[in-house]
Amino acid sequence: MEIDELLETDALDTEEIQDSASEEDEQSSETEVDDVEVDEDAETDEAEAEEDDEEIDLGDDDVESELEEVEFQGKNYKIHPDLKLALMRDADYTQKSQANAETKRALDEQQQSFEQQVQGHRELMGEYAQFQALQNQIDQYSNVDWNALEEQDPLDAGRHWRNLQQLKEAQQKVGSGIRQKEHERSQAAQREDAKRTEEYVSARNKAIPDWSDDLNLQLTTFAKTYGYSEQDVGSLRDPRMLQILREAMDGRQLRQKLQKQQAAARKAAKKVKTQEEVKPLKKQAKGRTSARNGLDDNMSTDDWLKVREKQVAARGGY
């Protein structure tokens, strides 16, 4: 009895195990189906995402095709055409601001240089006045009879003599200072002139890169035709005026060249017309039979033979 119960219990356990295994298989099958569905959904999502990416890429290509490349402060940028005008206005404003700042700097330097010159001129004027005042005092002793003054009052003569020497020494000192300042002013003026010349040459070569002595001579010669002198052209310190002069000279040379070409073309056309109106007579080709005897090389063979037979018959045979 106990054995039968044990067998039944084992059978029940086996069935439970099998049922449990079946349930696990079904669950695993459902899990696999779910996984397949999840994978399909994931693939669908990826496909839709790729389509979206393609649409976005196409949109980017369209936007890229609308962009324009512009240069700003030495670098190239791609921007929308609507922003190009604003950027150009900003660049123009920046350029003008820089030009104004440069002009202001140059004016400030000129103002400072002018003030220094005025101050130096005032100092020199004061020293000139001091020098002249000392000279006026020295001139007062020009008519003094020193021998008579010394006989009358040796002490007073000595005092005036020492005073005269002191005036001369003071005048010499002032004169030395004036000469030193004039020398310094001269050197400063030379440096300033050299600086302006260097700036002018730099600006001129930038405006006219092919500048040369020969071109300078050509411009001078061209300007003389309008009454300007060589000094007038040499005194120009504005490269823009030289550019205008260059353009005018090139324009005249181009006009003269075109006029020569037109004259040559008219002459050639007149010559061709004359040749067409007067045609030379054609010479008779050598070896061609004259048409005087009735024979002509341009005749057909049959016609030529007929004419020839008539001629022979008229002469009574060959």
Coil, strand or helix: which one is 71? strand
pLDDT, tens only, 50-82: 555 444 444 445 555 677 777 766 677 777 776
Instruction: Report the range of poorest mean pLDDT among 95-99, 117-121, 282-286, 291-295.
Output: 282-286
Residue 240 pLDDT greater than 80, yes or no: yes
pLDDT of residue 293: 60
Which tokens hold the place of 100?
Answer: 């104004």
Give the E-state strand segments of the chain in sequence order: 68-72, 75-79
Euclidean distance between CA atoms 300 and 302, whole angstroms: 6
pLDDT at position 6, please? 40
Is 284 or 131 the better-scoring residue by pLDDT? 131
Query: Mind listing the pLDDT tens digit for each residue in 179-205?
Result: 998 898 889 889 988 988 898 999 999
Q: What is the pLDDT of residue 70?
A: 72
Give one word for 74, left, alpha or beta, with left for phi > 0 and alpha for psi -120 to 50. Answer: left
Please indicate, yes or no, whether the overall pTM of this predicted structure exceeds 0.85: no
